[in-house]
Structure 1
Amino acid sequence: MVQVYRNVQVTVFGILGTEAFLFWSPRAQHFNTKFNLYTRRNPAAEQTSVQPRDGIDELTNFNNTLITKLYVHGYGVAPANSLSSDSMKNEWLNAGDYNVAGNHALSYEQTKANIPTVAQAITKLITELQSNSGLDLDKVHIVGHSLGAHIAGLTGKAFNGRIGRISGLDPAGPGFNGKPTSDKLSPSDAQFVDAIHTDAVPLIGLGINENSGHIDFYPNGGNLHQPGCFINRVTEVVDNGLFTAVACNHFRSVDLFVASINPNNPKGVATQCSNFVSYLAGGCKVDTMDNNVAHAIIGEQAVLSKPYEKSTIVSFIQLMSDYWKQCDNN
């Protein structure tokens, strides 16, 4: 059973970077994945293992009694107005003992083609930690953004869903919408799977527009209107470039998750709804805290809502404005 990660010590891994040696096809690659380990014993100076080249001998601070966090990035670097993966690592370390990092990004198609390769590297690392360091899968929490969410899903499948928890942060949509669950993040990939959708717009959104977990959060409807993001993407492309214009909503899922780790931040509380279509049609009471309606907390504490699994949890309409101000200040 996954526990609430407050006032506990936690070990966190992050995929810092990749070294890709490309040939003629994006699928023909030699791909080394670098893992950095941070704990409260080494909050700034990482211990590194490169898979599949290295073993785990370098990870001397790994402690199998701690909860293990693994952050898996997606394609691209967060826009300037978004919280970085380093912010996530620091928040985790403040709350317990964590790690988060970024990586050198390939093109979307090249990154997408290498999802199985990265998943295999993570699987190898976890397997070695199981065998040599006594890692307990119940204590593993993988957090993946965009393509990283699907990498987390494939990793979970490799362990037959025995990993404690997977959190998908706006799981990638292009190339994944409508695909079978074997190819993407799905509820069976871990004992508990939660997902935050912030750019789930059919055809033009970077996030998937279908449920990915036991509980799926759709803050502000999960679409183009995330606080602090630019409504007019065409104008923003001209002013600040293509990636900044289209990625702000996509990265809000990371920002919301990062802000949720700090126990002093306000919590985004969601209202249970039977499905997303019902929510869009106004069929869910999203503006009340009716005791007869199930509610869930977005982000780190979402696991508390495991009893609501297989339900769609949507909307933080009243709370998002103040919540985002708090995110923006951290």
Structure 2
Amino acid sequence: MEISLMMYTRNNFNCAEPLFEQSNSLNINFNVSKKTVWLIHGYRPTGSAPVWLQNFLRVLLNQDDVNVIVVDWNRGATTLLYNRAVRNTRKVAVSLSRYIRNLLDHGASLHNFHFIGMSLGAHISGFVGKIFQGQLGRITGLDPAGPKFSGKSPNDRLAYTDAKFVDVIHSDANGLGIKEPVGHIDFYPNGGKTQPGCPKSILSGIQYIKCDHQRAVYLFMASLETKCNFVSFPCPSYEDFKAGSCVDCDYNKGKSCPRLGK
């Protein structure tokens, strides 16, 4: 396993820098007093970089003056054997914990860490959170991977106990994503399954497979950029929502409607 930590700040927006220098000293652009966002990608069978990565960086740094660390675990994620990539998720978390302890030694704090994990990256975030006994500030799971994780115990997947706050967007719950709620709050846009605008035929190729799965990423980015709130209605099921049973946000009775993302 070889992991690269690519650091971006507003001072080096267009060009990644290593988080630690060869002498193990911390990069001068890293500010320990600021919030740190960790971006962790998922399964990469072909080894290509995520198409959403650069735009995600732009959105994050336009939104807030933060440290952004892109966790590149491509060597562990690039394999035609999905089970191998699944096994590597725990190894990645252990490696990340060593870097995190180094950051803590330099004065960083766990409560300032926000992990954003896509697919397998969501479970890596959860495993990191378990190592630090749930003391991370926040974990956002973007359609956490379902295969090999659905039905597992909280010790073997992302769980709400892994951080002070865990929010999850489910966009492909009947495909590549996990179906069951695993966070403090779980969003199921459009029922969490079939997303508008995604191909409905396998003839569309790879987009038919990954479009719904990746929609969680684009919804989260959109929540940071738009002035429109993605209002979500607490509801036992999507069927109940479509039947009109869950469209009341009565703040006076404590039934607030949470906003996705942000």
The TM-score bracket by the shorter chain reads: 0.7 to 0.9
Q: Which has the higher strand share?
A: 1
How many angstroms apart in 1 are the aligned matches of 2:87 and 2:166? 24
- Tell me if the contact between 1:141 and 1:166 (Cα under 8 Å) persists in the aligned partners: yes
1:31-69 Cα deviation digits (max 9, x unpaired): 01000111111111211148xx96742522111110111
- Tell me if the contact between 1:56 and 1:125 (Cα under 8 Å) persists in the aligned partners: no
- Tell me if the contact between 1:115 and 1:151 (Cα under 8 Å) persists in the aligned partners: yes
2:245 maps to 1:285 = yes
How does the TM-score come out when normalised to structure 2?
Answer: 0.87
Unmatched tracts of structure 2, length 5 or more: none
- Match of 1:61? 29
How many angstroms apart in 2 are the aligned matches of 1:122 and 1:246? 30
Q: How does 1:288-307 map to 2 (within 5 A)?
A: 288-291=248-251, 292=253, 293-300=255-262
- Tell me if the contact between 1:49 and 1:58 (Cα under 8 Å) persists in the aligned partners: yes
Matched length: 250
Q: How does 1:2-81 map to 2 (within 5 A)?
A: 31-49=1-19, 56-57=24-25, 59-76=27-44
TM-aligned CA deviation for residue 153 of structure 1: 0.1
Identity of aligned residues (%): 38
1:95-141 Cα deviation digits (max 9, x unpaired): 1235375663413222211001111121111110001x211111110
Q: Please tell me the root mean square deviation across aligned C-alpha atoms, in Å.
A: 2.4
2:204 maps to 1:218 = no
- Match of 1:268? 230
Identify if the C-alpha distance between structure 1 residues 183 and 296 changes in structure 2 by more than 3 Å, giving closer, same or farther.
same
Q: How does 1:77-226 map to 2 (within 5 A)?
A: 84-98=52-66, 99=68, 101=70, 104=74, 105-107=77-79, 108-131=82-105, 133-201=106-174, 205-224=175-194, 226=195
Q: Give the secondary structure class of the aligned counterpart of 1:198.
A: coil
How many angstroms apart in 2 are the aligned matches of 1:171 and 1:163? 18
How many angstroms apart in 2 are the aligned matches of 1:63 and 1:209? 37
Identify if the C-alpha distance between structure 1 residues 284 and 213 changes in structure 2 by more than 3 Å, giving closer, same or farther.
farther
How many angstroms apart in 2 are the aligned matches of 1:253 and 1:170? 6
1:231-257 Cα deviation digits (max 9, x unpaired): 22x222xxxx3x322100000000011
Identify if the C-alpha distance between structure 1 residues 152 and 170 changes in structure 2 by more than 3 Å, giving closer, same or farther.
same
- Tell me if the contact between 1:49 and 1:55 (Cα under 8 Å) persists in the aligned partners: no
Code of the residue aligned with 1:33 in structure 2: it is I
- Tell me if the contact between 2:170 and 2:186 (Cα under 8 Å) persists in the aligned partners: yes
Code of the residue aligned with 2:110 in structure 1: it is L
Code of the residue aligned with 1:113 in structure 2: it is R
- Match of 2:216? 253
2:198 to 197, 220, 229: 229
Code of the residue aligned with 2:259 in structure 1: it is I
Unmatched tracts of structure 1, length 5 or more: 1-30, 301-330
- Tell me if the contact between 2:38 and 2:115 (Cα under 8 Å) persists in the aligned partners: yes
How does the TM-score come out when normalised to structure 1?
Answer: 0.70
TM-aligned CA deviation for residue 214 of structure 1: 0.3
TM-aligned CA deviation for residue 207 of structure 1: 0.2
- Tell me if the contact between 1:259 and 1:265 (Cα under 8 Å) persists in the aligned partners: no
Identify if the C-alpha distance between structure 1 residues 298 and 100 changes in structure 2 by more than 3 Å, giving closer, same or farther.
farther
How many angstroms apart in 2 are the aligned matches of 1:222 and 1:83? 22
- Tell me if the contact between 1:49 and 1:56 (Cα under 8 Å) persists in the aligned partners: no
- Tell me if the contact between 1:47 and 1:58 (Cα under 8 Å) persists in the aligned partners: no
TM-aligned CA deviation for residue 286 of structure 1: 4.1
TM-aligned CA deviation for residue 280 of structure 1: 2.7
